Amino acid sequence: MDKKNIEKLKSLNNPYVEQRVKEAIDLCQPDKITVITDNLEEIQYVRELALKNKEEQKLKLPGHTVHFDGYYDQGRDKANTRYLLSHQVDWGIKVNSINKEEGLAEIKEYFQDSMKGKEMLVRFFSLGPVNSDFSIPALQITDSAYVAHSEDLLYRSNYEGFKALKGSNQFFYFLHSAGRLNNYVSIDIDKRRIYIDLEENCVYSVNNQYAGNSIGLKKLAFRLAIHKAHQEGWLAEHMFIMGVHGKENRTTYFTGAFPSACGKTSTAMLPGQTIIGDDIAFLRKVDGMVKAVNMEKGIFGIIADVNEEEDPIIYRVLTTPREIIFSNILVKDGVPYWLGMGKELPEEGINYSGKWYTGKKDKEGNIINPAHKNARYTVRIAELDNVDPEAENPEGVPIDAFLYGGRDSDTSLPIVESLTWEHGVFLGAIVESETTAATLGKQGVRKHNPMANLDFISIPFAQYLENHLSFKEGLYKIPKIFATNYFLKDEQGNFMTPKAYNLLWVLWAEGRANQDYSAIETPIGFIPEFEDLKKISKNSLNREYSQKEYLTHFSLRIDKYLEKMERMSNIFEQVNIPHIIKDELEKQTFRLKRAKEKYQQGVISPLNFQKKDNN
């Protein structure tokens, strides 16, 4: 390290930072070390380095670049993402872990000399707005300029914030190396490892480039944050934060947890609404209300099916000049293409498999898609037309409602409000999702994914749920909780609700959070009245919402719900969960069975449930 970079580290007056950097240098043996401060010229250096290293290539529009991960490095690697544990922990759920001493020895062997011939970048960020009580400083060391460039779009630069630590070790630390490269992609995929040390608040990631594995500040830091939140009495959640705009210029802030590819980003980007964040929220109780900030300042979004008709805001951003990193899409003549974009795709080009042509197969004989189903875009939220004015408020925004959404083709209603806070936590705890391309493995399998957070929970599951149940304590304003499902299908396999109706459900929830509408009580919670949906649809969507649609959408598929309760019962029998959640399961099962006995039908019309709730 040269004198200039040494001085940048010394200026922090933090021996813990210096120790981490020295350990990384001794282990990885980089040819060059560059410390990046908050200086814009230094940040620009990182972007240019990504191009120089050919980790990214320029596209036709100014500011657009493309990055390709290796063919077999296209999603989060669950199998090789493990917690380093120095003692046994009763998680209550299946969690990948490895003995800390053994795991450190293994991953340090893979890190050994991994940066020879490469440049080490030392970065300083803030998880959450700078100078906020919500936020956590983060130190990232990587040999990937693509990773560092992505983090410049996704997080706040925070070199000066590390000075304010006054020598404390209260920061998260991340060490990443892409490992050996061939054609600019990681080649030792069999040695891909992502190890998380909760005791030391650090993450080690090696032999990978896909952002979900390599960008420590994203889902890897999220695991550290959940653990820290548990210790300190707040919540770190897999949630967007959005402003929903109701009557008389009223803004009601929602958080929402949806498993990957279940409509999370598209909900946060609903037309006419404003966005603060699309992925991870930090929630604290402040003066008797829930407040939240976005851990990030950018979006690492799935690009498949983003098109001009259904996602006009995102589509415009993706097709106009600005700083964006595309990953694992198809490129032809400098133009990016992706699946479901509403345009005919070229028959040849460059993609994540190299030179691509229609009909190309991999070595296993599988047809290679023109773009990957998990292809992504990385962009600052500030680039969006609908960014909320409070997006960078260090004090956070007040939260009046939680949304929990899954991917369910035959059971759950489009929108339902919980009967109580405890019932709402239960609704979050029973979220199910059909698997997609966002993780490695089979698609189309229905999986239980409580709070859309199962992959990231870093404390015992029962305690995680207890933290949610007790979070209402001390609140004078308790948020309402809703469950949504955009993916109901008819017998022909067609979706029952157009994407435009996602706004209809959310606007109804906003009205309920502000006591605008009454509701119908059913065994699974409160549902909308037809006349309210009809009025909202006409006024806000300029669409006629028919009673026929209403009956299709909100008829209670009682047999399917009972099947779901049975699935949940089987799952809950195998894990340690709070008795309140078990009680809610038993009560909902009882209500469903009582309704079935009363109406003697497998599907019950919402018109049969007339008891109203006016709150």
Q: Which of 174, 181, 186, 206 is nearest to 80 (CA)?
A: 206
Phi, psi of 331, deg, nearest 5: -120, 130
Q: One-letter amino acid identity for 109? A: E
Helices assigned H by DSSP within 29-126:
40-52, 100-111
Specify whether the CB–CB gap between 420 and 428 falls below 8 A.
no
Name residues whose C-beta falls within 8 Å of residue 426's C-beta, 6 or more positions apart in sequence.
418, 581, 584, 585, 588
Q: Which of 155, 172, 182 is nearest to 293 (CA)?
A: 155
| Dihedral Cα 570, 575, 577, 581, nearest 10 deg | -10
Specify whether the CB–CB gap between 224 and 196 falls below 8 A.
yes
Q: Which residues pair with 301 in a beta bridge?
A: 377
Q: How many residues can be counted in the chain?
A: 615
Specify whether the CB–CB gap between 433 and 447 falls below 8 A.
yes
Report DSSP letters for 240-307, one per residue: EEEEEE-GGG-EEEEEEE--TTSSHHHHHT-TT-EEEESS-EEEEEETTEEEEEES-SEEEEE-TT--
Name residues whose C-beta falls within 8 Å of residue 581's C-beta, 6 or more positions apart in sequence.
425, 426, 429, 465, 469, 572
Token pair, residue 160, equals: 């000066």
Of 36, 206, 262, 295, catalytic: 262
> Rounded to whole angstroms, what are the CA distances from 43 to 142, 160, 370, 379, 525?
14, 14, 33, 15, 50
Catalytic (active site) residue 262: yes
Token pair, residue 91, equals: 């998680």
Residues catalogued as catalytic: 262
